[in-house]
Amino acid sequence: MKYVEKVLETLKAQNPNEPEFHQAATEILSSLQVVIEKHPEYEKAGLLERFVEPERVVMFRVPWVDDQGNVQVNKGYRVQFNSAIGPYKGGLRFHPSVNLSIIKFLGLEQILKNSLTGLPIGGGKGGSNFDPKGKSDREIMAFCQSFMTELQRHIGQDTDVPAGDIGVGGREIGFLFGQYKRIRDEHVGVLTGRGLTYGGSLVRTEATGYGLVYITAEAMKQRNDSFEGKTVVISGSGNVAIYACQKAQSLGAKVVAMYDSNGYVYDPEGIKLDVVRDIKEVKRGRIKEYAERVPGAVYTEGCKGIWSLPCDVALPCATQNEIDEASAELLVKNGVKYVAEGANMPSTLKAIEVFQNAGVVFLPAKAANAGGVATSALEMAQSSQRLFWTFEEVDKKLNDIMVNIYHNIDKAAKKYGMEGNYVAGANIAGFEKVAEAMMAHGIV
Ligand code: NDP
Ligand code: 2IT
């Protein structure tokens, strides 16, 4: 049996009931055989066995009191996966579906994504099965304070720097930072995505969505194509989706649909983003309200139907496995030309196969959504300098990083004879640097 297959089998046997972790590991490891063949010393050094095993997993109790005076208990997680190239870095997800499998898949992906940014950040991820939906601000604060009371002993500006993800935005980062500062008496860059009045960076809020569009635009440019006049479908209506929509529209695209976990809106005239932002960012409401406010827009219960809408570009920006094989086939049948993943692992393994076999330009999450964490690293740089850069400076750096990522994954795919396979290109380009650093550090 080949080395990568052996590692994958052992991983599945030793981590049963972790389907998302298995899925991410399968996607990554199946690209790495060609690298391993060039580097037989990696097998001798047990490099892959160490690569797929987190350096540390922290699991903890998060007790808090709700507005009715009831005691609630949630599960807290921080997986410190790999610190070979820099301090652990990655978001916190608050969603009822969160479990160890999900945090580990996200952490594993994050190692290679962070490597692709070209910046010195290792991989980590954390979160809780806490559901922020319908909670009061006081409940959110109570939860965040309890979560940080435990997490603070495991993180630090040079150790592990969390940020946002699903269910964790500016409000939550504020409460988490406040509690960290209170306990540790340190005003440092221990979290990114901070508010602009207390150490945050311009462009971090927009970065993941903007970066997604920048890298897709670069892929288009290489094909003498552009966003101008393209029909775009975006899933989700949270942080990533909103700013992907804004940037795509500014480049001349028509975004016709978005969704939340209840259903999707279709607006043949093009989504009015100010309405979406008012519903989602200001009122924390449901996307359904869009159709009540905008004449001509249609709301449909359920998410999956969004992929039956004809489009040139699909930008999944909600959650894992939101595009399955059947949805991918529908997209292809309706003529999709570009699929770029704003969410983490939104396409199933089968869906990826469908896109690649059909010749769709497919940009995988670890490359396509790296703009968020890249700008987090720029926030860390500004914190260390105790300086702030202008919006234009950060935006230019973000654009340069995304363009570089595109060319690096393109080159890596070509180098190994898999031109146009950006899944392989991203895995290989991300892995090469981490592997070299791990080898340099000896057996640790
Ligand atoms: P938000 O919490 O801001 O938004 C999430 C959006 O996705 C909401 O519209 C939410 O709908 C929807 N959603 C979440 N879970 C589901 C589900 N199970 N089914 C259908 N819809 C769902 O999160 P972000 O925008 O920050 O994150 C979106 C994706 O992007 C995630 O995969 C995240 O890991 C990834 N990502 C985020 C980065 C960042 O910087 N924030 C960076 C890189 C990747 P509802 O409101 O109904 O729950
Ligand atoms: O998945 C991701 O890259 C994020 N949620 C952002 C992580 C970060 O540290 O900014």
For β-strands 298-301 and 313-316, DSSP reports them as: unpaired
Q: Is 321 within the bounds of a domain?
A: yes
Statement: residue 1 has pLDDT above 90: no
Candidates 88, 105, 165: which one to mutate for ligand 2, based on the most atoms within 8 Å of Cβ?
165
Residues 228 and 351 placed together within one structural domain of the fold: yes
H or E segment and range at residue 257: strand 254-259
- Cβ neighbors of 404 (< 8 A, separation 6 or more) are 118
Of 386, 387, 325, the residue nearest 358 (C-alpha): 325
- Answer whether 189 contacts ligand 2 (Cβ < 6 A): no
Whole-angstrom distance, CA of residue 16 vs CA of residue 329? 30
Total structural domains in the chain? 2
Whole-angstrom distance, CA of residue 365 vs CA of residue 385? 30
- Cβ neighbors of 228 (< 8 A, separation 6 or more) are 251, 252, 253
H or E segment and range at residue 111: helix 100-116
- Cβ neighbors of 224 (< 8 A, separation 6 or more) are none
Distance of CA 323 from the midpoint of ligand 1 (Å): 14
Residues 94 and 132 placed together within one structural domain of the fold: yes
Residues 246 and 364 placed together within one structural domain of the fold: yes
Ligand closest in space to the Cα of 373 = 2
Residues 162 and 212 placed together within one structural domain of the fold: no
Q: Is 410 within the bounds of a domain?
A: no
Cα dihedral 133, 135, 137, 138 sign: negative
Residue with tokens 């066995």: 49
H or E segment and range at residue 293: helix 288-293
3 state SS for 268-284: CCCCCHHHHHHHHHHCC
Residues 218 and 178 placed together within one structural domain of the fold: no
Q: Is 435 within the bounds of a domain?
A: no
Residues 61 and 98 placed together within one structural domain of the fold: yes
Give the pLDDT confidence of 36-94 residue by residue, as tens digits: 999 999 999 999 999 999 999 999 999 999 999 999 999 999 999 999 999 999 999 99
Residues 212 and 356 placed together within one structural domain of the fold: yes
The answer to pTM > 0.75 is yes
Percent of the chain at pLDDT > 90 equals 100
What's at 123, amino acid-wise?
Answer: G
Q: Is 10 within the bounds of a domain?
A: no
Which of 154, 186, 218 represents a domain boundary (last residue)?
186
Query: What is the pLDDT of the chain when averaged over all its residues?
Result: 98
- Answer whether 236 contacts ligand 1 (Cβ < 6 A): yes
**Contact between 407 and 212 (Cβ < 8 Å):** no
Which of 368, 399, 421 represents a domain boundary (last residue)?
368
Q: Is 29 within the bounds of a domain?
A: no
Give the pLDDT confidence of 98-132 residue by residue, as tens digits: 999 999 999 999 999 999 999 999 999 999 999 99
Percent of the chain at pLDDT > 70 equals 100
What CATH number is given to the structural domain containing 69? 3.40.50.10860
For β-strands 122-128 and 298-301, DSSP reports them as: unpaired
3-class DSSP assignment, residue 74 = strand
Q: Give the mean pLDDT of 213-236.
A: 98
Residues 84 and 181 placed together within one structural domain of the fold: yes
What's the domain range around 226? Answer: 207-368
Residues 167 and 219 placed together within one structural domain of the fold: no
What CATH number is given to the structural domain containing 326? 3.40.50.720
Which residue in 113, 125, 230, 254 is the catalytic one? Answer: 125
Residues across the chain: 444
Q: What is the pLDDT of residue 352?
A: 98
Residues 171 and 234 placed together within one structural domain of the fold: no
Give the pLDDT confidence of 322-376 residue by residue, as tens digits: 999 999 999 999 999 999 999 999 999 999 999 999 999 999 999 999 999 999 9
Q: How far is CA 164 from the centre of its chain?
A: 10
Residues 234 and 353 placed together within one structural domain of the fold: yes
Beta bridge pairs of residue 60 = 76
